[in-house]
Amino acid sequence: MRTAFIHGEVDRFEAARDELIDRFDRSRPELEAGWLVECLLDDKLVRDGLLACWSEEDLARFLVEVVPRRLVVQEWSAVPEVLHQWLGFLAEEGLLTSPTPVSELHEAVERAVPDYLAAMAEPTEWSLEKFWDTTMRELGVDVDDPQAVAEFFDSVDSDEIDFDSEVFEEIERRDSLDATRPALWLPPIELAEIEPHRAIAASTPIMQQLRTLLDWVGDGQDPSDVDKLAAALGSDAADADLLLEWAERAGLLRSAGDQLAPTLIAESLLAEPELLWTRLWQRFVLVDDVFHEQLDVLADGEDALPEIVQSALSLLYSRTDAVPLELIVATACDLLGQGELDEREAVRDIVRRMLAQWEAMQAVRCHVTTAPEEVEALEADMPEGITADRTMVELMPAGLWAARGSLRAFGFQVPAVDDLVACPAELLALVAADTPADVQQVLVQRWIERRGERQASAELADLLRRVDDPTIRLAALGLLEHTGEEGVSAASQLIEDPIAGPAARMWLQSRPTSTADVARPGDELLFWLDGMAAAVDEDVDLFLAEFSHQPAADQIALIKEIAATEHGSAGEVLAVLAEHHPEETIATAAQEALNS
């Protein structure tokens, strides 16, 4: 079964979670702890999505933060015991993929117990739901009676019930910061330098612009009169306004009545360019006031700037080549749900000005493409009435480093290659599929070198036995290619495996040096189905386009063959064809195959 979910696959996660809970309950029925394991796994999805890979930090965090915050538990000592049992269960089932020895994980649970007990006794560590649940129980309110609960909150709203408002406010503040979305992983990168901004910060154009700004401000300056500042900067008034607010957010300026004045620490900050560079980067998301005209065009515009920044950084970070500005704009519009021309133009204006500031920090490099094929592609993707911007954008080393920190703060998992050399094979298979080729080569090589070809191929073979998922199966077979003869030997041990057998046989027979005829009737179709299911996961439209290239009669015949297999993803492929195929006869055939 799959235990790694790094792309927010909630439905598949829930199926795996329920299966794990059921297996755990059957192995330890006396605990009656399925409710606790459900909370454990739900939180792991938000944390990193790796349900069978537990670190000492993961276990301590669950005990000290998650349980006190979310759960009302009568017998506090039962929770650490369930964690011990959970680790034992994973180890017994051959599912535990943690690089840390299981004995050390048990020790980590015990070390966390005192802090866990202290947090359980501290109301400010609770969530709002737990706070109100406990308050209602203490007052004798039946928390399972909706009418009683509604009457209780009516009494709260009318100030008829006393409660600790200071505790409530602290919990409310902290709860607003909690992440609830599944963890999303970005492709790993190869970090060539550590904190590269230190070498370039002092000489970046933004530092000279800030010196010019402070000279203009002097002891105090009316911020509405920015024409001279714009002239000194060689910019327009809009960019001068942006720089003023940005400098204020970074701590260089303060309001002094109707004027702006330098802060007491302004000169000291300017003398520490590496620190100032970092503060500027981190605080750009706060300069939304200067974009009010553009943001007013957008629905929920007051919250849109961080979303635009996040969208741009995740796209740029995921690519090792230059990205069209128009793709950055389109991605941000998709995230915000903005599709009208005026909305798209508003987003484009924000993105242009944002990139100009990042370029002044030497965090990105922008250039205008003249390559005919790139220009043609840009113009083809543009909505009618808007001229394509030919700007291409890429992160520079300092921007790559800074973007990694920002994306981590946004809640993404942003590993470097070195972070993944100890990762389980299942995670490697999922990550490698999305990793640019040059980085993928380095990642796979280091992952294998850490283990040796024999152990690496054995881990991949175990993965192929355990997980019936086409995307992982195809990726794992691709990774076996890098383990040489050890990979061939490992795949040979899978020939009779009920899950991996057909794919392993096809892989062995298709190798350039293979002389053995190991494939069996039906293997080719099952292997094709692996590819189809993986394509459906990746891009439904592309899958349908490729499927539709065949004559209609061949498509219908293939649908019947798919329906006759026992492939685990056959139903999913047929369901996509039934719902989305543009030809009614093909869609009907797929639906009939599903119903048969």
The per-residue pLDDT for range 90-99, each reduced to its tens digit, is 999 999 999 8
Region 420-438 average pLDDT: 92
Give residue 309's pLDDT band: very low, low, confident or very high (50, 70, 90): very high
557 has pLDDT over 80: yes
Q: What residue type is 197 in one-letter code?
A: H
| Alpha carbons within 13 A on the beta-carbon side of 17 | 21
Q: How confident is the model at residue 385 (pLDDT cuts 50, 70, 90)?
A: low
pLDDT bracket for residue 380 (50, 70, 90): low
Do 479 and 457 meet the contact criterion of CB atoms below 8 Å apart?
A: no
pLDDT of residue 60: 97
Q: What is the pLDDT of residue 81?
A: 97
Query: Does residue 218 carry a pLDDT above 70?
Result: yes
3-state secondary structure 230-276: HHHHCCCHHHHHHHHHHHHHHCCEEEECCEEEECCCHHHHHCCHHHH
Between the ranges 174-178, 372-376, 570-574, where is the mean pLDDT highest?
Answer: 570-574
Each residue's pLDDT tens digit, 459-474: 999 999 999 999 999 9
Q: What pLDDT, on a 0 to 100 scale, did the predictor assign at position 372?
A: 75
pLDDT, position 82: 97
pLDDT at 88: 97
Confidence of residue 586 (pLDDT cuts 50, 70, 90): very high
Instruction: State yes or no: pLDDT of 376 exceeds 80.
Output: no
Which residue in 124, 115, 90 sits closest to 20, CA to CA?
Answer: 90
Give 89 or 156, the one with higher predicted confidence. 89
pLDDT at 458 over 60: yes
pLDDT in tens, 96-118: 999 899 999 999 999 999 999 99
Over residues 156-174, mean pLDDT: 82
For residue 76, pLDDT over 60 is answered with yes
Cα 501 to chain centroid distance, Å, stands at 33
Question: Over 90: is that where the pLDDT of 258 sits?
Answer: no
CA distance 418 to 195: 16
- Between 370-379, 477-486, 498-507, the lowest mean confidence (pLDDT) is in 370-379
Residue 375: predicted pLDDT: 67
Q: What is the mean pLDDT of residues 545-566?
A: 93
Checking if the pLDDT of 427 tops 80, the result is yes
Distance CA 252, CA 275 (A): 12
Q: What DSSP letter does each residue of 416-450 carry, written as one string? A: BHHHHTTS-HHHHHHHHHTS-HHHHHHHHHHHHHH
When pLDDT is averaged across residues 445-456 and rounded to a whole number, the result is 96
Whether 54 contacts 36, CB under 8 Å:
no
Structure confidence at residue 183 as a pLDDT band (50, 70, 90)? confident
Mean pLDDT over 146-156 rounds to 91
Give the C-alpha distances (Å, rounded to integers) separating 185 from 24, 49, 80, 336: 28, 9, 29, 20
What integer pLDDT is reported at residue 511 of this predicted model?
82
Identify the band that residue 176 occupies on the pLDDT scale cut at 50, 70 and 90. low
pLDDT-derived band at 179 (thresholds 50, 70, 90) equals low
Could you tell me the pLDDT band of residue 290, with boundaries at 50, 70 and 90? very high
Q: What is the mean pLDDT of residues 15-24?
A: 97
Helices and strands in the chain: count of H runs, count of E runs: 33, 7
Residue 379 pLDDT > 80, yes or no? no
- Reported confidence tier of residue 384, pLDDT bands at 50, 70, 90: low
pLDDT value of position 178 = 63
pLDDT at residue 3, rounded to an integer: 96
Report the alpha-carbon angle 205-206-208, nearest 5: 65
Let me know: does 168 contact 131? Beta carbons within 8 Å: yes
Instruction: Indicate the range of 124-133, 146-155, 379-388, 429-438 predicted with least confidence.
Output: 379-388
Q: What is the mean pLDDT of residues 547-557?
A: 93
User: Is pLDDT at 255 greater than 60 in this prediction?
Assistant: yes
How many other C-beta atoms lie within 10 A of the C-beta of residue 473?
Answer: 24
**Cα–Cα dist 332/307, whole Å:** 7
Mean pLDDT of the chain: 91
